[in-house]
Structure 1
Amino acid sequence: MLRYSSLFVFILISITNLVVRASPLVPCFFIFGDSLSDPGNNNPLKTKAKANYHPYGIDFPTGKPTGRFTNGQTAIDVIGQKLGFHRHIPPFSATKGHDIRIGVNYASGAAGIRPETGRHLGEIVTLDMQLRHHKRIISKLNAMVNGSAHGYLKQCLYTINIGSNDYINNYYGPAGQYKTSRKYTVDTYAASLTRSYQQALRMLYENGARKVAVFGLGLIGCSPGSVTRHRPTTPCVDKMNTAVSFFNAKLRTFVAELNHKHHDAKFTYINLQGMAGHPKDGITVINKPCCKSLRDDFQCKESSTICKDRNAYYFWDGYHPTANAHSILGSRAFKKTSHHEAIPFDIQTLVKFRL
């Protein structure tokens, strides 16, 4: 009887291991963007735009700061888990060996679509640099698969979430730092950003990307940092939200054009403006940061006192969401709860396409 019991336990453990270690929905995941996705790429850079100090990371699985601009995991981490990856996608700054087979995260805090965006904070990894880094990774993958990695890459997921800093740390940035607000109208600036974004997306396609989720920009005018800096008479900085709406509309149109033009690829638009936190999500404080002490760039001061109920807050610091808000955004990007959250489809649907 004991022998049969032991055999049963062995079979049960084996089955459990098979379930736990099931293959991810995609073989690899490549991430481009800014501080909303940065897992620590800025840590070694000479820049103020880094989050490798307490209280950042206090709710991360290790309980330590990693360079993520929040108290725990980001929306990208959540998406990676839902895809079935058993560990976080590594930052480009720390990739080594066969790590790259599961993908790479190139995102950099303060980065924008324009190369000068965020430069007043120090070194950053611009979008152009992120794309160049990706080409280097593809060359390494080609060697690993003894030829062309195209067949491998076309099954991978790509996400890109960038553009907020082109408004926060450029067009509406610190006085005297940038000339864009004098050179462009709100509409022509959105058009200029979109043209550069289009070029980046085309480059990704040319380098093998076939399943791409493009994130629109959120309501940056409602962030505590924007409200404090611009001091509007309304709850939010309406001109910033209007400017972002122009950009999002153009970006969404281009995503539709890409789907119409490239029948061997699928692109989708993730509508962050349609995913604001609500009380039903546990978020009840939307106009104050969880960090009680902020620097002049609206990041948490080192060892700042933090709010007691972090899950109730939408903002961790002056601009970045809490881990709970990130969880909501990542979960809805992966599986939408309404049509307008992901257009034409969510990431769960995107990765199922056979291309």
Structure 2
Amino acid sequence: MGSRRSFLRSWSSPLSLFVVVVALAASSADGFKAPRVPCYFIFGDSLYDSGNNNNLNTSVKVNYSPYGIDFPAGPTGRFSNGRTAADIIVTKMIHFFGYAGETLGFKDFIPPFASNPDDRQILVGVNYASGSAGILVESGKQGGDNVDLNKQLRNHKVTVSRIVKKLGSKKAAFEHLGQCLYICNMGNNDYINNYILPQSTAIRSQYNPAQFAALLIARYSAQINRMYELGARKVALAGISNIGCTPSLIATVGTNGAPCVTSVNQLVAPFNIGLKSLISQLKSAHPDAKFGYLDTINAFKCFFFLSVFAAFKVKTTPCCQVSTVTGLCLPNTVPCSQRRSYLFWDAFHPTELANRLGAPILFPVIQRIL
């Protein structure tokens, strides 16, 4: 019990359970009645990928069983047993305490860019996210190819050109795009699959943690401004979660008796601070747009608090059998049966349950920018 409480503290600030429950209750009452938007564009890494890596020359793809065991279409390339956080924002979901809610209220999931969506689909939205992708072009490339954020923006430019053609003018296209929600989750792989890799001695000698975070924010700033130039006016940017609490980093780095790799969590903290500052700058530079910060650390806290509230044991080991090389589920293996009590699906990625429980923390921010 003591170690469990320590783990909870590792994810927690001095935020009380009362505040968390109140926030969840508020989002249950109001968070899923947000005004609908006509379209939704998704950028990011494996936390949001819905199949863009399937045909790439990479070991970082998951279009096989047991991935998708709880997803309606089975294995699609999503790095989870079911829906990702980006999916849950889209469609109806059964919420905790039996509450049936609705987020953006789309009928279907947003298609990946790699599936070559048709003209009707692109007006509703496209998912560009790619497993192992980062803000920096080089991040995550040790596993093979990926669609880094620069490429994702180039792919979006192709989509925008098609929308211009479909709607007949750039003005009409940008009026449409200005009503869309844009969500982006980036930065995780710039640390996990770049800066903290044992072989990345050169970049660590060139940049200390504060300098590296500043480098990432500078690149990210240019990329988000490019997104704005392509018509984005409602943008939600996700911070990096406590990656030092992932099963992979706990197993490979070690914790010296602590529940998580504290040094890694401290290492990425400057990025989140910088991202909040960047969002303030973006708001000032673009008063015709709205930008919001998605606090993924708080989103994952709620899983642990609710586990205490509901008196069930949170398991922080992977639900599936994972490869010691990639940290991904071994193909065609049988995963755990009690997936409702696991936070992590594989050595890096959350289960659908964790994504569902985190969504109420994130969605009120999205509401404010719609």
Q: What is the CA deviation profile of residues 128-177 of structure 1, one whole-angstrom value per residue up to 9, with x for unaligned ones?
A: 0000000110000001111011111100000000110111000112x325
Q: What is the CA deviation profile of residues 95-153 of structure 1, one whole-angstrom value per residue up to 9, with x for unaligned ones?
A: 22321010100000000111011111001001100000001100000011110111111
Of 280-289 and 26-35, more deviation after overlay is shown by: 280-289
Greater RCO structure (CA 8 Å; 6+ sep): 2
Q: 2:174 aligns with which of 126, 150, 166?
A: 150
Amino acid at match of 1:39: S
Q: 1:224 aligns with which of 243, 247, 256?
A: 247
The alignment status of 1:77 with 2:87, answered yes or no, reads yes
The answer (yes or no) to whether the contact 1:75–1:331 under 8 Å persists in 2 is no
Amino acid at match of 2:107: H
Amino acid at match of 2:337: K
Aligned-residue offset at 1:23: 12
Tell me what 2:49 maps to: 38
Of 197-206 and 274-283, more deviation after overlay is shown by: 274-283
Tell me what 1:88 maps to: 109
SS at match of 1:214: strand
Tell me what 1:139 maps to: 161
Pair member with larger Rg: 1
178 and 169 in structure 1: CA distance in 2 versus 1, 3 angstrom threshold: farther
The alignment status of 1:308 with 2:337, answered yes or no, reads yes
The alignment status of 1:100 with 2:122, answered yes or no, reads yes
Partner Cα distance (2:180, 2:53) in 1: 25
Partner Cα distance (1:144, 1:303) in 2: 42
Specify every segment of 5 or more residues in structure 2 that has no aligned partner in the other structure, as ranges: 1-32, 92-102
Aligned-residue offset at 1:60: 0.1
Alignment RMSD: 1.7
SS at match of 2:182: strand
Of 22-31 and 106-115, more deviation after overlay is shown by: 22-31
SS at match of 1:260: helix
Alignment of 1:199-210 (within 5 A): 199-210=222-233
Amino acid at match of 1:86: K
The answer (yes or no) to whether the contact 2:119–2:166 under 8 Å persists in 1 is no
- Count residues in correspondence: 318
Partner Cα distance (2:264, 2:271) in 1: 11
The answer (yes or no) to whether the contact 1:295–1:301 under 8 Å persists in 2 is no
Amino acid at match of 1:292: Q
SS at match of 2:321: coil
SS at match of 1:47: coil
Partner Cα distance (2:252, 2:135) in 1: 22
Tell me what 2:359 maps to: 330
43 and 256 in structure 1: CA distance in 2 versus 1, 3 angstrom threshold: same
Amino acid at match of 1:51: V
The answer (yes or no) to whether the contact 1:170–1:178 under 8 Å persists in 2 is no
42 and 178 in structure 1: CA distance in 2 versus 1, 3 angstrom threshold: farther
Amino acid at match of 2:329: C
Q: What is the CA deviation profile of residues 41-100 of structure 1, one whole-angstrom value per residue up to 9, with x for unaligned ones?
A: 0001110110111100000013x1000000000111110111011000010001223210
